Amino acid sequence: MRISTAQIYNNLLSGISSQQNIQNRGNAQISSGTRFQTPAQAGLDYKVSLDIRHAQTGITGSIEAVSLVENRLTISQTMLSDMNNVLTRAQSLAVQQADATVSASQRASAAVEVSHLISRFFDDANLRWQGQSVFGGTAVDQPAFISNAFNAGTAVYTAGANTSITAVTQSLNPNAVNDSYAITLDAAGTSITGITNAADTNLLAAPVALATGANAVTMSNGVALSISYNGVPDTVNQAAGNLTVSGALVQDTVTYNGNSQNRTVAVTPEQVVVSNVRGDNPAFTDAFTALKAFKDALNANDVTGIQNALGALTSAGDKVINLTTDVGGQLSAMKIYRTSYEDLKLQLDKQMNTHEAVDIPAVMAELQQSSIALQAAYSQIAQIKSLSLTNYLR
């Protein structure tokens, strides 16, 4: 009798353990919303879930990358649009100021407004987003453009065959001209007959007689040279050498300070897209040059200069518009990418839900049945314990 009771008791305990496992599994499925939580529960299905999650992570990364590209390009487009507004206003002013009836004082007043327009354009071009330069390429830690102080440049003299000229230096360069100059003497070796630039244009209005020592010579472009003559004429060699001037900068001209590298973003391991507009695009240089030329022409009350500036402003404005349009095209492409990746993410989410989702009503029914079975098992164990005690007392 005792052996039979022990067997029944053990069977009931085994059944209780099985029902408790059903309860634990069902509760875990309901709380997580998935059919399995560990590889041991469904090895192959768990592996499939890992593969889907890996794909989901990649798609999420692609969407985030597209968002970054969109943000950078949108900021660039906004600034380019404002730059175009600046150039449009400058063009309107140029049309007004090109009228011959406009007075010098009126043009001086207009020059003040143009100065503000230049500052606004400069600020747009130097915009920083999230602490990084927008138009500076990958040189994000420095301003994309710098405004230059006047620099007369560096002059390097290369001696020619003529032995009378011992040195040539640049004394003045008020217009910050960068050029190279070839100096030629006459057959007698006592006068400079010509100083030609890189375009082979003679910049001397008339020959310059040389005196022993330093001779000051001013060319038609405003550049002044100091030419040292030893007083001993060289009647054989007329070529007195070349002077090359480089690095000269006009006051308030603007120079690109970034680099020539694009900021790229990897949307996928195989797809890398450009996310920026670089300030070394000719549209920027042309705009700064046109605005400064317009301002200078206004201050000089130069009608012809104003008319020329109008053409330059229009050309620069067209380039900025074209650049803005290009950015708009990039944004449209990014929108297509985003839609594609979001659709793919939705499909993966559906696939994951179908693959892992638990049938809640079925699990609840199973839990209810398991609970009834547990209650019955507990009741039977109580009866067996009571019966065993009675048998023992007998």
Residue 17 lies in a domain: no
**pLDDT at residue 1, rounded to an integer:** 44
Is residue 218 located within the same domain as residue 263?
A: no
Does residue 11 belong to any structural domain of this protein? Answer: no
Among residues 225, 246, 267, the one where a domain terminates is 246
pLDDT in tens, 250-287: 888 899 999 999 999 999 888 999 999 999 999 999 99
Domain-located, residue 389: no
Total number of domains constituting the chain: 2
Residue 386, pLDDT > 70, answer no
Name the residue with higher pLDDT: 369 or 62. 62
For residues 306 and 226, membership in a common domain is answered with no
Question: Which amino acid is present at 148?
Answer: N
Would residue 181 be called left, alpha or beta, if left means φ above 0 and alpha means ψ between -120 and 50 degrees?
Answer: beta
The parent domain of residue 94 ranges over: 61-147+258-343
Which tokens in the block code for residue 353?
A: 């839900």
Is residue 47 included in any domain, yes or no? no
pLDDT band at 160 (very low <50, low <70, confident <90, very high): very high
The residue from 215, 246, 277 where one domain ends is 246
315 and 280 in one domain? yes
Q: 140 with 101, same domain?
A: yes
User: Given this model, what pLDDT does residue 335 score?
Assistant: 94
- For residues 281 and 325, membership in a common domain is answered with yes
pLDDT of 12 over the 70 cut: no
Global pTM?
0.69
Q: Is position 33 within any domain?
A: no
Residue 314 lies in a domain: yes
Whether residues 91 and 167 fall in one domain = no
Q: How confident is the model at residue 374 (pLDDT cuts 50, 70, 90)?
A: low
Domain shared by 266 and 235, yes or no: no
Domain containing residue 121: CATH number: 1.20.1330.10
Same domain, 289 and 141: yes
Q: Residue 241 has what pLDDT?
A: 95
With respect to residue 130, please indicate whether it lies within any of the assigned structural domains: yes
What confidence tens digit (pLDDT) does each residue in 165-183 have?
A: 999 999 999 999 999 999 9
Whether residue 272 sits in one domain with residue 337: yes
Question: Do 163 and 239 belong to one domain?
Answer: yes
Higher pLDDT, 212 or 12: 212
Residues 323 and 274 in one domain: yes
Same domain, 138 and 270: yes
Range from 4-18, 280-294, 379-393 carrying the lowest mean pLDDT: 379-393
Is residue 53, in this structure, part of any structural domain at all?
Answer: no
Q: For 59-73, 191-205, 227-241, 335-349, which range has the lowest pLDDT when averaged over its residues?
A: 335-349
